[in-house]
Amino acid sequence: DQQVKQNSPSLSVQEGRISILNCDYTNSMFDYFLWYKKYPAEGPTFLISISSIKDKNEDGRFTVFLNKSAKHLSLHIVPSQPGDSAVYFCAAIPTSGTYKYIFGTGTRLKVLA
Amino acid sequence: GAGVSQSPSNKVTEKGKDVELRCDPISGHTALYWYRQSLGQGLEFLIYFQGNSAPDKSGLPSDRFSAERTGGSVSTLTIQRTQQEDSAVYLCASRPSGNTEAFFGQGTRLTVV
């Protein structure tokens, strides 16, 4: 039972355009949502997070949107740069139980120069 | 360095052997996590340590897997009688108290032949 889903395994975007990565969640209540970026042979690095009481959080080129009624989370990167090419994971922290991260399966973003 | 350090970076072992994976978290971080990423999969939660509390072991896939955290710092993940399906990248992360995001190490790539 995958609680956090990333239905697009890959995405290609032209440099300078907007990249939109999507994440859906089901069933459980979550307190926070996070996005991590992962380069090959490296560990994931934190990008941006959002509390469940907010609907938007912005940090430079990165903006995360949360639509609670649709149980949908998205990460916008604008403008996209070739260095943004990586695998992006969304993660959620449940409201109850231990403070652990439930990750999606990831979306591979390729930014074309 | 100041980041999460994992050793070894790569480990090749024969089926049936035991392996130990080590994680040195960031100093002062009270929470420590182990995740694994199998080929083409997302990050799978294994175990979570928080201070002196009993660890959340709910993600350990079988009783061949165990982990300990000594003195609230270094953690060791042990896999006994390794199987080919244990082949994956094992990731450790730590988080300071009051923070939302965790910081990941570079991972240990385990290959069982």
Residues of B whose CB is below 8 A from A99: 31, 48, 50, 95
User: Is residue A41 within 8 angstroms of chain B, CB to CB?
Assistant: yes
User: Is residue A103 within 8 angstroms of chain B, CB to CB?
Assistant: yes
| pLDDT category of residue A96 using cuts at 50, 70 and 90 | confident
| pLDDT category of residue A45 using cuts at 50, 70 and 90 | very high
The model's pLDDT over B7-36, given as tens digits with 9 standing for 90+, comes to 999 999 999 999 999 999 999 999 999 999
- How many whole angstroms separate alpha carbon A66 and alpha carbon A33? 9
Which structure tokens are listed for A69?
Answer: 């009624």
Q: What is the mean pLDDT of residues B101-105?
A: 97
Q: What's the pLDDT score for residue A76? A: 98
Nearest to A38 by CA among B98, B46, B106: B106
Q: Give the one of A41, A46, A102 whose C-beta lies nearest to B101's C-beta.
A: A46
Q: What's the pLDDT score for residue A28? A: 63
Burial of B6 (0-12, 13-18, 19+ CB in 10 A): buried
Residues of B whose CB is below 8 A from A100: 33, 45, 48, 56, 59
Q: What's the pLDDT score for residue B72? A: 79
Nearest to B44 by CA among A106, A28, A72, A41: A106
Nearest to A42 by CA among B23, B111, B6: B6
Q: What is the mean pLDDT of residues A26-31?
A: 83
Q: What's the pLDDT score for residue B92? A: 98
Task: Kindly tell me the sign of the dihedral angle through the C-alpha atoms of A93, B31, B99, A82.
Answer: negative
Q: Give the one of A6, A34, A98 whose C-beta lies nearest to B101's C-beta.
A: A34
DSSP string, B52-110: TSPPB-TT--STTEEEEEGGGS-EEEEE-S--GGG-EEEEEEEE-TT-S--EE---EEE
Residue in the structure block whose two tokens are 């710092």: B73
Residues of A whose CB is below 8 A from B24: none
Q: What's the pLDDT score for residue B39? A: 85
| pLDDT category of residue A14 using cuts at 50, 70 and 90 | very high
Computed over every residue of chain B, the mean pLDDT equals: 95
Tell me the sheet residues that pair with A88.
A37, A107
Nearest-Cα residue of chain A relative to residue B105 = A43
Residue in the structure block whose two tokens are 């988080």: B95
Higher pLDDT among residues B77 and B1, named by residue: B77
Nearest to B92 by CA among B108, B70, B110: B108
What's at A50, amino acid-wise?
I
Q: Give the one of A32, A100, A103 whose C-beta lies nearest to B48's C-beta.
A: A100
Q: What's the pLDDT score for residue B11? A: 98
- How many whole angstroms separate alpha carbon B42 and alpha carbon A3? 12
The model's pLDDT over B29-52, given as tens digits with 9 standing for 90+, comes to 999 999 999 987 889 999 999 988
Q: What is the mean pLDDT of residues A8-12?
A: 96
Cβ within 8 Å, pair A99-B48? yes
The answer to whether residue B55 scores a pLDDT higher than 70 is: yes
Poorest-pLDDT segment among A10-14, A18-22, A38-42, A106-110: A38-42
Q: What's the pLDDT score for residue B52? A: 86
Answer whether A52's CB lies under 8 Å from A35's CB. Answer: no
